[in-house]
């Protein structure tokens, strides 16, 4: 059996001048701290990060291990130039469509429209090919998706075991009723089978990076044989024991670890074969179990040649200065911490379960031990008012000025379908939600209004936040001219398609 797997692009994001300036400063602040060892060539390869869809590539390697032949179709913008990524990708799939027994798309909310459009075109030309959709938008909105799109089958949550069973059932023309974790339409009725328990992910084979080039021409690869991944995301731990009301991450509520040998193998592969020069440990809660964190740090620190890395974590009040010293010794350059709001009451309402003084203490320990800190902030937290948003902006700016937070990011909160924030709107005084899912992306456009703040209020507050952020950055990092001169040729393309992958 041969299956095509498609990562449809999120539509290109139009940015305001203020947003461009914000990204410029965000990039510069990172370039001068954690990325300081990256050279011109590394920066010039940032556009190569775009087609890397970790979940889909992981699914592909698992299926291949189990005898299913796969071909991977990802979006790309050669040399960072804007192209019609959807059109190009669609054309490639249509050219090869008759080779495949099924075509599977992955989508988050923002790319759902693209996936549905592409699938419709394939259905018109190849009505016999079964079309499958996976990824978190598919299953949180399965009835709507099955009703409105041409997708035949949706894979819910974790994909590996479900997809393998599904494809085998399809191949043997067996009933789909016994395949756990899917939904589909039968005789005009939408059917959903029971969810499947989470699998032990430590048994998974290496992510199928070797499939990245399946459908790229040499020109699309910038004349190189392989795509480089100068900054790689690796996940030695997945999950989070917390449950913020707006969080669309379904790898909860457990924190589970990857097999340490496999993790080392993956990192080594990325260094040796993909020119990775920096690792972002995309765990949500790196310091959840301090012992495991120290073991992973030990592994990263033992990599030769010297490897720099950073990790995302929740605040762990049990972490001592000694822990941060050990992280520094293991070459950890930065910790990413979601703070979200400067208002303690809102942190309670959103279920963040952190105390600001504890966050500050952890950041202080990290800074004293020479680790950079990168904090995340939100405009539009549940029950936000003008005053609480101001508090968030002031706190972020004050932490940046004092150096408690070396760098920071501020975003508009997006209420994703499936989260309790989006589904229980009345509880959060929401009066309107944007019906256009393609806006649920990185463009930081308000996707809802409340009794307290309108779309225009959110826009104002968000731009205000970016303006003040840029002013602090000018004080601490330098003016645009100074930064440009200092960066010299180490200047990447600032298109958010790559920015998001890089930061």
Positions in the binding site for ligand B12 (CB under 6 A): 5, 10, 53-56, 58-59, 104-106, 108-111, 132, 134-137, 155, 158-160, 163, 233, 247-249, 251, 282, 416, 440-442, 500-501
For residue 155, the cross-strand partners are 182
Q: Strands 153-155 and 131-134: what pairing?
A: parallel
With CA atoms as reference, report the closest residue to 63 among 4, 21, 118. Answer: 4
Query: Is the CB of residue 104 less than 8 Å from the CB of residue 75?
Result: no
Residue 247 C-beta: closest distance to ligand SF4, Å: 3
Kindly state the number of chain residues that form the binding site for ligand SF4, as judged by CB under 6 A: 9
Closer CB to ligand SF4, 122 or 244, in the complex: 244
Query: Is the CB of residue 320 less than 8 Å from the CB of residue 369?
Result: no
Task: Indicate whether 244 belongs to the interface with ligand SF4 (CB under 6 A).
Answer: yes
240's contact among ligand B12, ligand SF4, none, with CB below 5 to 8 A by partner kind, is ligand SF4
> What is the Cα–Cα distance from 44 to 365, expressed in whole angstroms?
35
Residue 65 C-beta: closest distance to ligand SF4, Å: 29
Q: What single-letter DSSP state applies at residue 298?
A: H
Q: Which stretch binds ligand SF4 (CB under 6 A): 56-64, 242-250, 356-364, 427-435?
A: 242-250
What φ, ψ does residue 416 adopt, rounded to 5°? -85, 140
Closer CB to ligand SF4, 48 or 346, in the complex: 346
Closer CB to ligand SF4, 338 or 415, in the complex: 338
> What is the Cα–Cα distance from 309 to 232, expressed in whole angstroms?
9
25's contact among ligand B12, ligand SF4, none, with CB below 5 to 8 A by partner kind, is none
Name which of residues 281 to 340 contact ligand SF4 (CB under 6 A): 284, 314, 338
Residue 68 C-beta: closest distance to ligand B12, Å: 11
> What is the Cα–Cα distance from 72 to 70, expressed in whole angstroms?
7
Name which of residues 469 to 498 contact ligand SF4 (CB under 6 A): none
276's contact among ligand B12, ligand SF4, none, with CB below 5 to 8 A by partner kind, is none
Neighbours of 424 (CB within 10 A): 12
Residue 325 C-beta: closest distance to ligand B12, Å: 28
441's contact among ligand SF4, ligand B12, none, with CB below 5 to 8 A by partner kind, is ligand B12
Closer CB to ligand SF4, 242 or 454, in the complex: 242
Choose, by CB under 6 A, the member of 79, 101, 243, 369 that binds ligand SF4. Answer: 243
Buried b / exposed e along 275-307 (16+ C-beta atoms within 10 A): bbbbbbbbbbbbbbebebbbebbebbbebeeeb
Question: What string marks each residue from 333 to 372 as x (binds ligand SF4 by CB under 6 A) or -?
Answer: -----x----------------------------------
> What is the Cα–Cα distance from 500 to 163, expressed in whole angstroms?
28
Q: CA angle, corner 199, sides to 198 and 203, nearest 5?
A: 155
Choose, by CB under 6 A, the member of 155, 247, 337, 396 that binds ligand SF4. Answer: 247
160's contact among ligand B12, ligand SF4, none, with CB below 5 to 8 A by partner kind, is ligand B12
Task: Indicate whether 161 belongs to the interface with ligand SF4 (CB under 6 A).
Answer: no
For residue 409, the cross-strand partners are 376
Query: Is the CB of residue 417 less than 8 Å from the CB of residue 109?
Result: yes
With CA atoms as reference, report the closest residue to 283 among 232, 333, 316, 240. Answer: 240
Closer CB to ligand SF4, 340 or 457, in the complex: 340
For residue 5, the cross-strand partners are 72, 104
> What is the Cα–Cα distance from 414 to 407, expressed in whole angstroms?
22
Residue 392 C-beta: closest distance to ligand SF4, Å: 16
Choose, by CB under 6 A, the member of 249, 369, 434, 459 that binds ligand SF4. Answer: 249
With CA atoms as reference, report the closest residue to 48 among 88, 8, 78. Answer: 78
> What is the Cα–Cα distance from 236 to 297, expressed in whole angstroms?
10
Closer CB to ligand SF4, 112 or 286, in the complex: 286
User: Interface with ligand SF4 by CB under 6 A: which residues?
Assistant: 240, 242-244, 247, 249, 284, 314, 338
């Amino acid at each position: 059996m041969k299956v095509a797997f498609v990562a449809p692009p999120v539509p290109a994001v139009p940015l305001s001048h203020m947003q461009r300036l914000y990204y410029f400063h965000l990039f510069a602040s990172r370039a001068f701290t954690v990325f300081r060892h990256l050279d011109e060539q590394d920066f010039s390869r940032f556009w190569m990060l775009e087609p890397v869809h970790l979940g889909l590539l992981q699914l592909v390697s698992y299926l291949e291990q189990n005898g299913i032949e796969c071909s991977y179709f990802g979006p790309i913008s050669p040399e960072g130039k804007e192209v019609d990524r959807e059109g190009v990708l669609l054309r490639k799939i249509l050219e090869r469509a008759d080779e495949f027994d099924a075509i599977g798309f992955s989508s988050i909310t923002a790319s759902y429209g693209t996936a549905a459009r592409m699938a419709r075109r394939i259905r018109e030309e190849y009505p016999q090919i079964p079309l499958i959709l996976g990824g978190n938008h598919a299953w949180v909105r399965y009835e709507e998706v099955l009703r409105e799109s041409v997708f035949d089958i949706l894979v819910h949550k974790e994909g590996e075991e479900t997809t393998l069973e599904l494809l085998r059932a399809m191949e043997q023309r067996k009933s789909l009723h016994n395949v756990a974790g899917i939904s589909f339409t039968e005789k005009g009725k939408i059917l959903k089978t029971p969810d499947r328990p989470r699998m032990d992910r430590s048994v998974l084979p290496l992510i199928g990076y070797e499939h990245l080039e399946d459908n790229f021409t040499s020109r699309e690869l910038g004349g190189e044989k392989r795509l480089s991944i100068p900054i790689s995301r690796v996940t030695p731990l997945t999950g989070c024991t917390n449950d913020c009301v707006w969080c669309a991450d379904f790898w909860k509520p457990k924190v589970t670890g990857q097999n340490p040998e496999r993790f080392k193998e993956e990192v080594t592969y990325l260094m040796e074969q993909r020119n990775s020069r920096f690792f972002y440990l995309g765990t949500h809660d790196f310091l959840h179990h301090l012992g495991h964190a120290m073991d992973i740090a030990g592994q990263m620190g033992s990599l030769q040649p010297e490897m720099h890395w950073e990790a995302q974590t929740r605040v762990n009040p049990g972490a001592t200065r000694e822990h941060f010293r050990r992280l520094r010794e293991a070459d950890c350059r930065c910790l990413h911490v979601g703070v979200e709001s400067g208002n303690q009451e809102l942190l309670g309402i959103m279920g963040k379960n952190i105390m600001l003084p504890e966050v500050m203490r952890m950041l202080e320990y990290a800074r004293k031990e020479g680790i950079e800190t990168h904090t995340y902030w939100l405009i539009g937290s549940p029950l936000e008012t003008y005053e609480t948003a101001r508090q968030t902006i002031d706190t972020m700016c004050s932490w940046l000025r004092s150096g408690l937070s070396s760098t920071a990011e501020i975003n508009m909160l997006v209420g994703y379908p499936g989260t309790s924030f989006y589904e229980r709107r009345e509880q959060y005084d929401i009066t309107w939600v944007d019906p256009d899912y393609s806006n649920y992306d990185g463009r930081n456009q308000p996707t809802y209004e409340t009794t307290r703040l309108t779309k225009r209020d959110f826009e104002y507050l968000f731009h205000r936040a970016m303006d003040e952020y840029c002013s602090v950055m000018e004080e601490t990092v330098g003016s645009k001219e100074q930064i440009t001169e200092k960066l010299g040729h180490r200047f990447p393309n600032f298109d958010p398609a790559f920015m998001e992958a890089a930061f």
